[in-house]
Homo-oligomer: A and B are copies of this chain.
Amino acid sequence: MSSDNLTGAENQQETESSILGLDPRWVVGFVDGEGCFCVSVHHNPLCARRTGGWQLHPVFQVSQHQRHRAVLEELSSFFACGRVRPKGPKSSVLAFAVDSLQALEGLILPFFEQYPLVVKQRDFRLFAEIVRSMRRKEHLQRAGFERLLTLAYAMNADGKQRARTLEEVLGGSSETTRQASPVSDGASKI
């Protein structure tokens, strides 16, 4: 083997572009490594008063440096949904992302139920419950919203990276003073 055969971005692109089809078990392993089942919480004044103006936004995504764009495009073809977009305005990291509730329910959830995750199985189960409940519009009622929000805060290491506590969000969706819940130390970056 000569190093001449292995240097340069062309080789990288050629290797990844020549993938004819991804093995589903490889996809599960890759998602267990680089994927994320996330439910972000946004404040939107246009949202119903009964949720305190908060909305839930479930996203399945897989991130890679832009030099590996080909594999993200391949994942988009594999799942027959989603799109590849930069993680931020000047970011060199791209994400294959699916945030359509219909695509999540119809394409993403059934796949990972047929091919179970290993590391991210618990987050996936919570994510699946949130997506299906939202498809039934349960999040539009206060009780449903609060239940799904609590599930979202139980995801990804019990929401430890979130910027807002569960109580801060719930404070805007309910007039009752709440006891600290088991996931109340969560803080959301999203």
Residue A42 CB within 8 A of the other chain: no
Residue A30 CB within 8 A of the other chain: yes
Chain B residues within 8 Å of A32, by CB: 26, 29-30, 33
Residue A45 CB within 8 A of the other chain: no
Q: Please report whether the interface of chain A is mostly helix, strand, loop or mixed according to DSSP.
A: helix
Q: Which listed segment binds B: A10-18, A94-102, A134-142, A163-171?
A: A10-18
* A32, B64: Cα distance in complex, Å: 11
The answer to whether residues A23 and B22 also contact, given A6-B126, A6-B154, A7-B182 and a CB cut-off of 8 A, is no
Count residues on chain A whose CB falls below 8 Å from chain B CBs: 42
State how many copies of this chain the complex holds. Answer: 2
Residue A189 CB within 8 A of the other chain: no
A129 touches B1 (CB 8 A): yes
Q: Which listed segment binds B: A46-54, A83-91, A105-113, A116-124?
A: A116-124
* A121, B17: Cα distance in complex, Å: 12
Contact with B along A29-60 (1 / 0, CB 8 A): 11111110000000000000000000000000
The interface of chain A, by Cβ under 8 A from chain B, is: 1, 3, 6-7, 11-12, 15-16, 19, 22-23, 25-35, 64-65, 67-68, 71, 118-119, 121-122, 125-126, 129, 147, 150-151, 154, 157-158, 182-183
